[in-house]
Structure 1
């Protein structure tokens, strides 16, 4: 029996019996926090319940309480941040089944947490979007396209991290969409002034772009390397750093050495 299923078998009866305090303690006690890695198996086990069950009033209120748990203090690297992580991923798992009014609320919550100062909560937002992608990727382009015009730097990072998810990139149109979004985001980077580029938000975005592009290129190499060849001609220090980082990723260097070297030769 997998760890994830083992946790699920403990969580399921508690949720069905509306045992809020027991659920809360189970999650907190097994969060692995403080520590370098939260218990992702437990996060997904909690979310698994919402994949196959309706979001009755009790469960919606439970998720709302979890989302606000510990946020009036500093929950960084403490068990207090684990409950909102679980709730965020659960919202993504349930999204496809939700009524349109609930879907709007879920999306609003996800964008709000995408701008949170806590990196684990931001990561949970990306994981939540990935749960939606895995069930129906066609729901993703409208969600992200609606945000593009007024997107913040941290929201851009959430989008790019959510899309850099290999299981959903086996379908060509999905990878094409990822390259289109990447093109838009790099265009936005070019327009940023020096003060914006010195912010923590930009550092986080750039770090996301420094690996995600290679994921998209690896999934669709012909179009992907054409995309890189286009951007390598842009004279922008941050763009060059982003491209160089991606071209150094083993997912590209091991399989596409010639193409990588060709783009690198243009980058110098």
Structure 2
């Protein structure tokens, strides 16, 4: 039996309050990498009671699992509110859980996934904007011109929001986090359909320091450098 199958079987037999300890002991932390495969299983299997228990636990990995489970179900407007709040959590793994959960939503409901990214990218919080970029700039999901165009649009709008920030706000950690996501997101979006994205990327105003950094970082990515 594979680990994933075993996790599914085990979780099915646990009560909600037992989930936090189960996932924490299999988190891979402390260590260089969290167990993302288990995050995916929890996102698939957790019901509202399990999500509540994972969030109440207080530890970062259970909260990351809960965030992925919430985001995966955020086609429900009431659930989306919670997912958006978790996208601005101070813990980076929790924010990453939201992005992973949205990508899982994209596997099953591309329309909802694109719509959420399009709404979130105009949120006042750079961290929520970052979640939109990270969620939609996933190569496995960008298999049509429509999805590639949506990713380019999200990257372009997030870049405009970042460029419009006052100098002091642009130096804050949340803005730096958004800039980092755009530092790879553009290359993913453009590579998915160069006919859709290359013109938008080449039109970016590199007179602006943050935009110049974003362009430079993306040009270093092999998937884009081969096109240029």
Structure whose CA Rg is larger: 1
Asked if 2 retains the 8 angstrom alpha-carbon contact of 1:5 and 1:45, the reply is no
Asked if 2 retains the 8 angstrom alpha-carbon contact of 1:92 and 1:128, the reply is yes
Among 27, 52, 67, the residue aligned to 2:55: 67
SS of 1:33 mapped into structure 2: coil
SS of 2:28 mapped into structure 1: coil
**Structure 1 residue runs without a partner (length 5+):** 51-58, 71-79, 97-102, 261-268
Instruction: Verify: 1:31 aligned to 2:19, yes or no.
Output: no
Asked if 2 retains the 8 angstrom alpha-carbon contact of 1:160 and 1:182, the reply is yes
Change (3 A) 1:13 1:139: same
Which residue does the alignment assign to 2:140? Answer: 167
Moved over 4 A (4+): none
> Relative to structure 2, which stretch is displaced further, 31-40 or 1-10?
1-10
- Listed one character per residue, the Cα deviations across residues 109-131 of structure 1 (whole Å, up to 9, x for unaligned) are 11111111111001011111111
CA distance in structure 2 between the aligned counterparts of 1:198 and 1:105, rounded to whole angstroms:
33
Which residue does the alignment assign to 2:209? Answer: 237
Aligned length: 228
Which residue does the alignment assign to 1:83? Answer: 62
Normalising by structure 1, what TM-score?
A: 0.79
Offset of 1:40 from its aligned partner?
1.3
CA distance in structure 2 between the aligned counterparts of 1:229 and 1:93, rounded to whole angstroms:
33
Which residue does the alignment assign to 1:218? Answer: 191
Instruction: Verify: 1:49 aligned to 2:22, yes or no.
Output: no
Asked if 2 retains the 8 angstrom alpha-carbon contact of 1:8 and 1:48, the reply is no
SS of 1:131 mapped into structure 2: helix
Name the Cα RMSD after superposition: 1.8
- Listed one character per residue, the Cα deviations across residues 128-185 of structure 1 (whole Å, up to 9, x for unaligned) are 1111111111113332344444431111111100011111101110110111121112
Asked if 2 retains the 8 angstrom alpha-carbon contact of 1:8 and 1:45, the reply is yes
Which residue does the alignment assign to 1:176? Answer: 149
**Structure 2 residue runs without a partner (length 5+):** none
Which residue does the alignment assign to 2:96? Answer: 123
Asked if 1 retains the 8 angstrom alpha-carbon contact of 2:133 and 2:181, the reply is yes
Instruction: Verify: 1:92 aligned to 2:88, yes or no.
Output: no
CA distance in structure 1 between the aligned counterparts of 2:107 and 2:141, rounded to whole angstroms:
6
Asked if 2 retains the 8 angstrom alpha-carbon contact of 1:4 and 1:44, the reply is no
- Listed one character per residue, the Cα deviations across residues 217-259 of structure 1 (whole Å, up to 9, x for unaligned) are 110112222112111x441111011001001101222x42xxx
Asked if 2 retains the 8 angstrom alpha-carbon contact of 1:111 and 1:155, the reply is yes
